[in-house]
Amino acid sequence: MSSTDISPATLSSVGRPPQPSAFSNALVFGWRAMLKFKHVPEQLFDLIMTPLMFTLLFTFVFGGALAGSTGDYLQFFLPGILVQTVVFNSVYSGMGLSTDLSKGLFERFRSLPIWSLSPFAGLMVGDVLRHGIAGLIILGIGLVLGYRPEAGFPGVVLSFLLLFAIGFGTGWIFLVLGLLIRTPMTVMTIGFTFIFPLVFASNIMVRPETMPGWLQLFVNNNPVSHMTTALRGLMAGTASGADVALALLAPVLLTVLLAPVVLWLYRRN
């Protein structure tokens, strides 16, 4: 490859096209997130394996003991594992952000005349894709194993909308971490330190009735429990408006509180 072959002088000189809309910028970042699935299919494996193992282990190992039969337990557990999957997977946007920042890619984005928040919008698009793909696969496996959402197709659609809202809300935690921490692995470790107790001390795996009183107090007020209760209700067709509102409380609060923090951290430099 000789240097004489390089001839930027032959490049036509190109002027700026009309300013693209913020929405079309965000779509480009979404397209990038999809390309990542194509080039790094391993991340899909990460996404699916943990919830898959949880589903199979809890259903077949503990299910009979916890709920009398594996079928009954699956019916109880599957909505919860969907919540867990989405909450765990929102760590990926924080890790992706941290990687982009450490590689200097955001420097280029920030020097472009684009809507300054579109990279974040793109991360969110990527999240929705991830949550959608992972959720559908887990639900599919559940259906094969005998899970039946009583509310049928509309219940499933409403449940997924709630899942996206949950993912959107928890995503902000990891965006803040991603902006603060330059090593993706540390983002994951710190993120999971927060998330693990919330997920396990909830009503995802078992009903809280057998727990000690102080723990019941925590579990019953844990936002992850509210999310799980609402999702079970939506799948079964028994959710009240109050259930859903309670489930949305944490995502809404997180968005209101953390979105400005993310913006401030991003523009701080």
Partner 1 sequence: MNDATPAKALSLVREDIPLAISVRGLVKHFGDVKALDGIDLDVPRGIIFAILGPNGAGKTTLIRVLATLTKPEAGTALVMGHDLAAEPQAVRGAIALTGQFASLDEDLTGRENLIMLARLWGFAGRRAKARADELLAAFDLSDAAGKQVKSYSGGMRRRLDIAASLIVTPGLLFLDEPTTGLDPKARQGVWSMIRQLAQSGVTILLTTQYLEEADQLAARIAVIDHGRKIAEGTSRELKSAIGSGFLHVAPADPARLDEAEAILEQRLGGTAQRSPEGAQLSIVAGSPKAANEALAALIAAGIELADFSMGSPSLDEVFFALTGQPLEESEQEERR
CB 124 to partner 1: min, Å: 17
**Unique residue bearing structure tokens 């997920």:** 199
For partner 1, give the closer residue by CB, 15 or 212: 15
Residue from 27, 200, 171 nearest 95 by CA: 171
CB 112 to partner 1: min, Å: 6
> Is residue 210 at the binding interface for partner 1, with CB under 8 A as the rule?
no
- The region of 57-65, 107-115, 159-167, 235-243 touching partner 1 under the rule CB under 8 A is 107-115
SS3 content of the chain, % helix, strand, coil (to 5): 80, 0, 20
CB 104 to partner 1: min, Å: 4
> Is residue 42 at the binding interface for partner 1, with CB under 8 A as the rule?
no
Residues 75-104 that bind partner 1 (CB under 8 A): 100, 103-104
CA distance 104 to 97: 11
> Is residue 185 at the binding interface for partner 1, with CB under 8 A as the rule?
no
Q: What is the SS3 string spanning 60-93?
A: HHHHHHHHCCHHHHHHHHHHHHHHHHHHHHCHHH
> Is residue 41 at the binding interface for partner 1, with CB under 8 A as the rule?
no
Given 105, 157, 215, 217, the residue binding partner 1 (CB under 8 A) = 105
Given 19, 69, 189, 240, the residue binding partner 1 (CB under 8 A) = 19
Residue from 108, 128, 134 nearest 119 by CA: 108
* 188 Cα distance to chain centroid: 13
